Amino acid sequence: MRTLTHFHGIRSDLPTLIISECCLCYLEVDNAQDVVKWFADKIPSLGIVLYEPIGVHDSFGHMMVANLAARNITMPTLRAYKTLEDQKQRLSDLNFKDTGEDGGQEGNSIERIWEEWIPSAEKERVDSLEGLDEVEEWQILARHYAVVWGWRGKSGWEAWKSLHQNQ
């Protein structure tokens, strides 16, 4: 991507949303930054949503990293962005700055999203399905993943500023 001047199918004149679901975490920090920066440098009206692991500071986080290491898997950005605040700062550093309605970044842990954003009826429906038997297991797992979002530009991102306050 470093040498590409044009990426077929991408129009910089349209608002663009980038979604990364546990993708950038496998890249070295500089490479992950470069991927986002490539889009940010070319598209003035840009939104990004990242789903990333966090929370390596506790016993579950240590176990998660050790289990991955046993399989020869590393997540370099997990070491750099250990907390939700680190992830939000990451987006700020990539020019998703708090500029009122024209830009900013927010985020929540999956645990908080589940607790505060999901209606009770949906929680009951999900609880009736097979899956994690222990609520505590789900809470621990959900505490170790986050969704962070950033936006910049004037086209269509106005609602993102208040997204996490209006659950």
Q: What per-residue confidence (pLDDT) applies to 93?
A: 95
What is the C-alpha to C-alpha distance for residues 164 and 84, in angstroms, rounded to an integer? 13
What would be the CATH architecture of the domain defined by 21-46+56-165?
3-Layer(aba) Sandwich (3.40)
Give phi and psi for 17, each to the nearest 5. Answer: -115, 125
What is the C-alpha to C-alpha distance for residues 62 and 56, in angstroms, rounded to an integer? 6
* 67-89 pLDDT, tens digit each: 999 999 999 999 999 999 999 99
Res. 144: pLDDT tops 80: yes
Give phi and psi for 16, each to the nearest 5. Answer: -130, 140
What is the C-alpha to C-alpha distance for residues 93 and 130, in angstroms, rounded to an integer? 41
**Sequence ranges of the domains in the chain:** 21-46+56-165
Alpha helices in the chain (DSSP H): 29-42, 59-70, 76-80, 84-93, 110-117, 120-128, 135-143
Q: What per-residue confidence (pLDDT) applies to 130?
A: 64
Check residues 167 and 40 and name the one with the higher pLDDT: 40
The answer to whether residues 42 and 152 touch, using CB atoms and an 8 Å cutoff, is no
* 6-52 pLDDT, tens digit each: 677 888 899 999 999 999 999 999 999 999 999 999 999 999 999 99
The pTM assigned to this predicted structure is 0.87
Q: What pLDDT band is residue 167 in, cutting at 50, 70 and 90?
A: very low
